[in-house]
Chains A and B, each alone.
Chain A
Amino acid sequence: GDSVTQMEGPVTLSEEAFLTINCTYTATGYPSLFWYVQYPGEGLQLLLKATKADDKGSNKGFEATYRKETTSFHLEKGSVQVSDSAVYFCALSVIGNEKLTFGTGTRLTIIP
C-alpha cells in the first residue's frame, strides 16, 4: 500500500536557522506530494505541493522537490521564524485514489 515516512520530532531550532524535515514515500501508483502545516488549535493548511518528478513546490520561503529516484520530498527553509512553529505533515495521494496518506507529523518549535 501507500505510506509516508516522516522525520520524527519534536524539532527545536533557533530563529534564522536552516530547516530540513525529511519525508520519504512508497506509492502503488504515481503520487502527488504535499506538505501541510497545522498551527495550534487550527485545521491543516496546504503549504506546498508537487505533482510530478523534479517539480519544486514553494511557498512562504519553504521549498520541497519531488525526487522520484530517491522517493523523497524533503521540506526546507533557509531561515526559520518563531511564527513557523507548528506541526508539519507530509502527505501523498495517488491518481484514482481519493485518500490522502499522511506521515506521522513533525512538531517544530522555533525559539527566539
Chain B
Amino acid sequence: DTEVTQTPKHLVMGMTNKKSLKCEQHMGHRAMYWYKQKAKKPPELMFVYSYEKLSINESVPSRFSPECPNSSLLNLHLHALQPEDSALYLCASSQDSDRDISYEQYFGPGTRLTVT
C-alpha cells in the first residue's frame, strides 16, 4: 500500500478563520512533508518532519503551524491566512534516507485551499 490520504479535498476559508489540514500514511514512513503548489508551478517545500520532530521549516509564515501527533499523522493548522495563500497543499511521506540511498516521496491527492 503506497497511499497517502489527505482531508479535506477542498476548503474555503475566510481570513479570520482557523482550520486544519490532515494527512495520514500507513506505510511505516518516518519522514513526512508539507508542500504548497501554485498553479502551473512545481511544489514548494514548507515543512519536513523526521521521526515526529520538525527538521526543516522553509521560512514559512507563522500563520501556518505544522503538527505531527504520531508517526502516521501530520496536520497543518491554518490561522489568519491571506488570499495569496490559496493553493493546492500536498502532503508526502518517505522512508528516511540511509547511508546509501535517498528514497522517493509518496504524495497525497492534496487539499485545494481557497482563502476569501
Contacts and interface: CB of A to CB of B under 8 A. Distances in A.
16 contacts: A32-B103, A32-B104, A43-B4, A43-B90, A43-B110, A44-B43, A46-B105, A96-B102, A97-B97, A98-B56, A99-B45, A100-B43, A100-B45, A102-B42, A104-B42, A105-B40
B88 to A, nearest CB: 8
Interface of A: 31-32, 34, 36, 42-46, 49, 51, 89, 93-100, 102-105, 107
Q: How large is the interface on B (under 10, 10 to 19, 20 to 34, 35 or more residues)?
A: 20 to 34
Nearest to B50: A98
Interface in B4-34: 4, 6, 31, 33
Smallest CB-CB A-B distances: 5 pairs? A102-B42, A93-B102, A44-B107, A32-B102, A43-B107
